[in-house]
Structure 1
Amino acid sequence: MTSDDTQRQDPPSEALVALAESFGIATSYHSFFGDLVTPPAATLRAVLGAMGVATFTPEQVDAALEQARTAPWRELVPASVVTRRSRDTHVHVHVADGHDASVTLHLEDGGTRELELDGSSPESHVVDGVTVWRLRVTVPAELPLGWHELRARQRPRDGSDGAHREATTVLAVTPDRLDVVDLRPGYGDRAWGLMAQLYSVRSRASWGMGDFADLGDLADLAGHRGADFLLINPIHAAEVVGRIEPSPYLPATRRFVSPLYIRPEDVREAAYLPSSQRALVEWSRDSVKDSNDDADHLDRNAAWAAKKAALEVLFQAPRSAGRQRSYEAFVSSEGRSLADFALWCALEEHYEGTVRPDEADDATSDLVARLRGELTERVAFYSWLQWIADEQLAAAQAAGLAAGMKIGIMHDLAVGVHPEGADSWSMRRMFAPGISVGAPPDMYNQQGQDWSQPPWRPDALARSGYAPLRDMIRGLLRHAGALRIDHIIGFFRLWWIPAGHGADAGTYVRYDHEAMIGVLALEAQRAGAVVIGEDLGNVEPWVRDYLSSRGVLGTSVLWFEYEEDRPTPPEHYRRLLLATVNTHDLPPTAGYLAGEHVDLRARLHLLTEPVEQVRAAADREREVVLGVLRERGLIGEHPTEREIVEALHLYLVGTDSVLLGVALVDAVGERRAQNQPGTNTEYPNWQIPLADSAGNAVLVEDLAQVSRFDSLTRAVDAALRRNADERG
């Protein structure tokens, strides 16, 4: 039975539609292809069930709908309030009949203000037999940016022992608009940078995969060539035992970083090891160092096994009093989040190879509380790893800035986390059970995508005062000048797929984008960082306008930008934008020009149309693009592959977009895709080392001598300077 058949046979009732809409669940939407789609009742019931709403019978639906309507009236104040600095904000206060209320504003800096309740036009509603009045308090504009609190009190008017209530809600005051960082003189107000999959970029001193030392060296090289940023893949932490998930977009946590990227020799204590312990570190590296020249495959598991053995030795090494204080201060500042993540790591290690009791999967269980004490030393080890990673990330960012970069490291934030990872374990109530996130069918993924990630519940985020989002953004920007948000539409809506359903049988769930973008803007403003939203695919035009109005840059990939049947002219690109020729979900430009994206999907049986038809369309696309390049004088009649790649980047220099990204794979002639969406084991996603067009491994030390790298980076840098001069 097809999805269309299911929809016709299982239409939702009016009450179910109303209930779903009250929870932000889309009961109709337009597909990528323009069709109006109505999700079946089974999808709506499954999504509501993941939000804790029972809908097995019509009576349950009616009861849940009534509960949803009265829920705001049961709260003294809302769970959280996120506002903009320039706006007066009206907050509803719900007071029982016969009671008075007061609201005090507690500022982040310790100041307080009493706010006046407005009861001039009250509304009322009867809740559980009690009349509740809706009053209003105005939070004034121009408050300091930051995280404040509203504290409300309800007390009986006659002084009796009536319903005394108190409630505290988060008040986040956010900037109206982010300012773009001042960029390097000589380029106008524009900048270019490199884009790299860090794990794939190795040096002779690496441990089989790229690390934070390689990041610093690459940032230094790019900065001295005129780049202002270095965009890397998500470096979120993955598994610490067993098979490590290759995809950086399916991490165990988005709050902490992967110790896989630590360079053991750069840990300060390594310099003072006795010869016997230094030998242990060297022997560990010896087991993986030869793999740096392997151009075919990366082995994260081997790299981690070697590094972990070395890091165990370094963890036991004595630290100076100052170093110990620094470590303890880091642990204290990261608080319960770090303690929980480190405990998850210790538990994974503790139960490796054994049957794990169900109680261990509950972070609040008595068993977990007991193990928190018993595994203190292992918790300390994994906390220490985060401190070391933080230090090495800081050094990499400093290297980029010292080389002249104005932005430096640009991190990438994944859409979600692994369903069995640390975040899912420690923040279980924040996630919707039995749901995974993905994308509906589109031109490139005609069967839809299931990313196997549980989504945050919008209502849980609001109840938490958006603390998980705040802490995640704050941690990522501590040692970075920019943040790319993968699939930023997830701040507006996400495609929820109930367990057991196909990727094409989900529906969208809406999030409070004003609150979530506000939190993002507040933390970025405090960090002095640029924010880029990956807004590709099925995105409503108003979303892009909204992001621009908040100072969040969008994303454009040349191959996806079309006006009717021709590539979008450079003059028509948006200004607040990171413009690139390609993306990590396509082959590098050389491979794309050769039609590798078609051949690969055909080999993996991912096409829903005849391969000849898809290949012919790709050939037409390529010829149209080459024709446009010729019209603009960027290539001749018989260009080489290298000339075409450079011309495509120079085409983007002609835009007015603030940022221009140059993929490192394009700069060395690589053809292989890092990732093929819609696959898991069928293709070695995220496991391909950086190599040149001849299939030879390219190491960081070699880049300056790679002619294609030299030519492309010089061409882009010089063209941006000329462009700035021509525009005055």
Structure 2
Amino acid sequence: MTSDDSQSPDVPSEALVALAASYGIATEYYSFFGDLVHVPAATLRAVLGAMGVATFTPDQVDASLAEAELAPWRALVPPSLVIRLGAEAPVNLHVADGHDVAVVLHLEDGTTRELVVPDQEPESRAVDGVTTWRLTVHLPDDVPLGWHELRATQRAAGSGGHSGRGVDRDAVCVLAVTPERLDVTPLRPGYGDRAWGLMAQMYSVRSKASWGIGDFADLGDLADIAGDRGADFLLINPIHAAEVVGRIEPSPYLPATRRFVSPLYIRPEDVREAAYLPSSQRALVEWSHDSVSDSNTDPDRLDRDAAWAAKKAALEVLFRAPRSAGRQRSYEGFVAREGRSLADFALWCAIEEHYEGTMRPEAADDATSDLVAQLRRDLADRVDFYSWLQWVADEQLAAAQAAGLAAGMKIGIMHDLAVGVHPSGADSWSMRRMFAPGISVGAPPDMYNQQGQDWSQPPWRPDALARSGYAPLRDMIRGLLRNAGALRIDHIIGFFRLWWIPAGLGAAAGTYVRYDHEAMIGVLALEAHRAGAVVIGEDLGNVEPWVRDYLSSRGVLGTSVLWFEYDGDRPTAPEHYRRLLLATVNTHDLPPTAGYLAGEHVDLRARLGLLTEPVEQVRAGAERERAVMLGMLRDRGLIGEHPTEREIVEALHLYLIASDSVLFGVALVDAVGERRAQNQPGTNTEYPNWQIPLADSAGNAILMEDLAQVSRFDSLTSVVDTAMRRVADERG
């Protein structure tokens, strides 16, 4: 094999192709449009470089390829192993010549089992001048679900044995035993084994008592209303924590961390200590609320920065209030349970606050530096404050989930997991070695974004995840499911492969990097099983068909959006929808249904200069799409010749309910007549993404107290609930 790249700087050599493939980097792929794309050498080198692999010269490529082939032989045991319950699980050991090896299985419950290394004809090779033997040990088939450890010990053989040139060593393999398949169990009586729920951007749904933005108290009230209407779940936007100083990133899909939640959603008055404040301090809280309460009725734009400034001032007062002994023990227990992850996140918050508006030393960006260690001590009180905020948020989120369940929901809150994190956020800071430097993730060109998408998020390194025993993934899933009954995974294809974009090359010049999906989906399934939660994967777009089959086989539901489902040139009939599915009429990346029917998605992209075809051509295509859809509805007797907008919206929902899909989502914006999109992909400052308050078709703000009087809300939820029950009765 040669590493000669002299034929063209853009054409990779055979050695470079082999090296990239060994790291799961695609050297060619099929585009959304069906073309076979060959990845240029520059992209492969940049992606390999982000994984710490040297490729500057042909000799380096050859040396790196040899190292990649040798790496497994250097490990006494693999760093981690994720298997299915009851599956045959061989584990490869790599033992130096003249040494014995012992392997002990340490189960999660504290018990141990010594594993027998059977006699075998081992394979061998030279590793750094030492003959190394590959032995295989088999795990018992009755290892229970859970997180366990394999501990291996290599010691020089006893008297008469040749010690060779190896060294004594110990190694640990993290072992996760996961369920074969998640169960999708029957839900509320009367609906068969199906359920429907509301979908809402939580920040946009306010009440008279809000602080200018929707919060956990509003979430609990909305869950109560939805449950009373017959809904079994309430899907909300990601509530991951964002910045705590300066401008808060509006996008919930670009958080500072996915491990903890945003204190922006705390309702200060619901902190228990608020009830016992002396009048002077209570007045401070009330004044803070008064500074932003008028914005609750602003129908045009949300102001996260103003809301957080007011809330933070109030929460500072509450943090200083005395806590009872029981409350203090509860807080301390929370801090102990969350461990180093919480300590690091709170420290990041304190450091961001400490250096706000000043020159930040370079050492502060290194979580392992002596300066950061000193700041951990110096800023202990502020670390305590930000830790306390997470405790309060956790309590209020638990209360919202309890409200939904008390209203009859069988699932309750359905969280949304963002694809990644902000490149300058808490996770990127505290877990720097987990991320690929100089890389962002996104999507290749498709029919909706013909220049591709760059989401400006650094990707996890697949090798770093394996070395960590998938602890960051485990802890993230576990934290999200603590106060929820379901989890939607945005862009779940990221558990299989992600589109890596080297800095400066543009979104279209990236390539796919594969992840160990068996391990990652296994970890997801284990944590969801333990939480008794339903998992939904957003599998829209350019997803290989086998991925959808694989997810279904593991009990992970897929996602379908009415406007994206076509069979040839006609909408897919509901009878042909997959069963293991969350089916919806629209998505947050499109205008609400009323706006979509009116062509708002075309008008908006035209105004923002995002179209690559003449606007007349695009608008004509949208009108044809609308006409075909209305024709389908008429053929099924769901609308008449001259339907109103409300009748069309309701008919579209009835159309989907005829499917056999397990879950059915109703967007709150569709239930109040809103027309404005929450997000326009491909834009940043050109459009107020994720800053649109809930409003009706006339542009009037809709508050929580108004929902009961909104006729469209009453009508759509009644139509959906009645149809779900009727279909269940008809199917027996």
Equivalent residue, structure 1, for 2:435: 431
- After superposition, what is the alpha-carbon deviation per residue over 1:367-426, rounded to whole angstroms, capped at 9, x for unaligned? 000010000000000000000000000000000000000000000000000000000000
Equivalent residue, structure 2, for 1:128: 128
Contact (CA 8 Å) 2:89, 2:138: kept in 1 or not?
yes
**Structure 1 residues without counterparts, runs of 5 or longer:** 1-6
1:443-522 matches, cutoff 5 A: 443-522=447-526
SS in 2 for 1:639: coil
In the alignment, the residues of structure 2 paired with residue 638 and residue 447 of structure 1 have an alpha-carbon distance, to the nearest angstrom, of: 39
In the alignment, the residues of structure 1 paired with residue 88 and residue 97 of structure 2 have an alpha-carbon distance, to the nearest angstrom, of: 27
Equivalent residue, structure 2, for 1:19: 19
Equivalent residue, structure 2, for 1:526: 530
Equivalent residue, structure 2, for 1:365: 369
1:256 to 260, 268, 291: 260
Equivalent residue, structure 2, for 1:3: none
Q: In structure 2, what residue type is equivalent to 1:582?
A: N
Equivalent residue, structure 2, for 1:73: 73
1:230 aligns with 2:221: no
- After superposition, what is the alpha-carbon deviation per residue over 1:516-559, rounded to whole angstroms, capped at 9, x for unaligned? 00000000000000000000000000000000000000000000
In the alignment, the residues of structure 2 paired with residue 339 and residue 27 of structure 1 have an alpha-carbon distance, to the nearest angstrom, of: 41
- After superposition, what is the alpha-carbon deviation per residue over 1:109-156, rounded to whole angstroms, capped at 9, x for unaligned? 011111121341311111111111111011122321100000011111
In the alignment, the residues of structure 1 paired with residue 639 and residue 314 of structure 2 have an alpha-carbon distance, to the nearest angstrom, of: 52
SS in 2 for 1:121: coil
1:104 aligns with 2:112: no
Equivalent residue, structure 1, for 2:4: none
SS in 2 for 1:118: coil
Q: In structure 2, what residue type is equivalent to 1:179?
A: D
TM-score by length of 2: 0.98
Q: Structure 1 residue 638: deviation in Å?
A: 0.7
Contact (CA 8 Å) 2:185, 2:193: kept in 1 or not?
no
Q: Structure 1 residue 321: deviation in Å?
A: 0.3
Equivalent residue, structure 2, for 1:588: 592
TM-score by length of 1: 0.98
- After superposition, what is the alpha-carbon deviation per residue over 1:254-297, rounded to whole angstroms, capped at 9, x for unaligned? 00000000000000000000000000000000000000000000
In the alignment, the residues of structure 1 paired with residue 264 and residue 478 of structure 2 have an alpha-carbon distance, to the nearest angstrom, of: 21
1:405 aligns with 2:409: yes
In the alignment, the residues of structure 1 paired with residue 139 and residue 38 of structure 2 have an alpha-carbon distance, to the nearest angstrom, of: 40
Q: Structure 1 residue 8: deviation in Å?
A: 7.7
Equivalent residue, structure 2, for 1:535: 539
Q: In structure 2, what residue type is equivalent to 1:296?
A: D
**Structure 2 residues without counterparts, runs of 5 or longer:** 1-6
In the alignment, the residues of structure 2 paired with residue 89 and residue 538 of structure 1 have an alpha-carbon distance, to the nearest angstrom, of: 33
Q: In structure 2, what residue type is equivalent to 1:115?
A: L
Equivalent residue, structure 1, for 2:148: 148
2:359 to 335, 355, 372: 355
Equivalent residue, structure 2, for 1:382: 386
1:557 to 531, 542, 561: 561
Contact (CA 8 Å) 1:441, 1:447: kept in 2 or not?
yes
1:221-300 matches, cutoff 5 A: 221-300=225-304
Give the direction of change, closer, same or farther, for the CA distance of 1:51–1:9 in structure 2 (3 Å limit). Answer: closer
Q: In structure 2, what residue type is equivalent to 1:471?
A: D
The worse-fitting range, judged by mean Cα deviation, of 592-601 and 530-539 is 592-601
Contact (CA 8 Å) 2:196, 2:233: kept in 1 or not?
yes
Q: Structure 1 residue 100: deviation in Å?
A: 1.4
Equivalent residue, structure 2, for 1:322: 326
Equivalent residue, structure 2, for 1:4: none
In the alignment, the residues of structure 2 paired with residue 138 and residue 701 of structure 1 have an alpha-carbon distance, to the nearest angstrom, of: 61
- State the superposition RMSD in angstroms: 1.0
Q: In structure 1, what residue type is equivalent to 2:682?
A: G
**Moved beyond 6 Å, runs of 4+:** none
Equivalent residue, structure 1, for 2:63: 63
Contact (CA 8 Å) 1:87, 1:140: kept in 2 or not?
no
In the alignment, the residues of structure 2 paired with residue 267 and residue 308 of structure 1 have an alpha-carbon distance, to the nearest angstrom, of: 13
Q: Structure 1 residue 9: deviation in Å?
A: 5.7
Q: In structure 2, what residue type is equivalent to 1:60?
A: Q
Contact (CA 8 Å) 1:233, 1:248: kept in 2 or not?
yes
Contact (CA 8 Å) 2:76, 2:95: kept in 1 or not?
yes
Give the direction of change, closer, same or farther, for the CA distance of 1:680–1:322 in structure 2 (3 Å limit). Answer: same
In the alignment, the residues of structure 2 paired with residue 497 and residue 119 of structure 1 have an alpha-carbon distance, to the nearest angstrom, of: 48
- After superposition, what is the alpha-carbon deviation per residue over 1:314-372, rounded to whole angstroms, capped at 9, x for unaligned? 00000000000000000000000000000000000000000001000000000000010
Q: In structure 1, what residue type is equivalent to 2:203?
A: Y
Equivalent residue, structure 2, for 1:725: 729
Contact (CA 8 Å) 2:207, 2:705: kept in 1 or not?
yes
- After superposition, what is the alpha-carbon deviation per residue over 1:234-255, rounded to whole angstroms, capped at 9, x for unaligned? 0000000000000000000000
In the alignment, the residues of structure 2 paired with residue 505 and residue 611 of structure 1 have an alpha-carbon distance, to the nearest angstrom, of: 27
SS in 2 for 1:166: strand
| Sequence identity (%) | 84
Contact (CA 8 Å) 2:205, 2:218: kept in 1 or not?
yes
SS in 1 for 2:627: helix
Q: Structure 1 residue 158: deviation in Å?
A: 3.3
SS in 2 for 1:136: strand
Give the direction of change, closer, same or farther, for the CA distance of 1:9–1:600 in structure 2 (3 Å limit). Answer: farther
1:604 to 608, 611, 614: 608
Q: In structure 2, what residue type is equivalent to 1:518?
A: G
The alignment of Structure 1 onto Structure 2 pairs a total of residues equal to 722
2:720 to 702, 716, 725: 716
SS in 2 for 1:72: helix
Equivalent residue, structure 2, for 1:86: 86
Q: In structure 1, what residue type is equivalent to 2:86?
A: S
In the alignment, the residues of structure 2 paired with residue 25 and residue 356 of structure 1 have an alpha-carbon distance, to the nearest angstrom, of: 36
Equivalent residue, structure 2, for 1:202: 206
In the alignment, the residues of structure 1 paired with residue 416 and residue 699 of structure 2 have an alpha-carbon distance, to the nearest angstrom, of: 27
Q: In structure 2, what residue type is equivalent to 1:723?
A: V
In the alignment, the residues of structure 2 paired with residue 380 and residue 111 of structure 1 have an alpha-carbon distance, to the nearest angstrom, of: 36
SS in 2 for 1:538: coil
In the alignment, the residues of structure 1 paired with residue 21 and residue 300 of structure 2 have an alpha-carbon distance, to the nearest angstrom, of: 49
In the alignment, the residues of structure 2 paired with residue 153 and residue 276 of structure 1 have an alpha-carbon distance, to the nearest angstrom, of: 64
2:690 to 683, 686, 692: 686
1:653 aligns with 2:657: yes
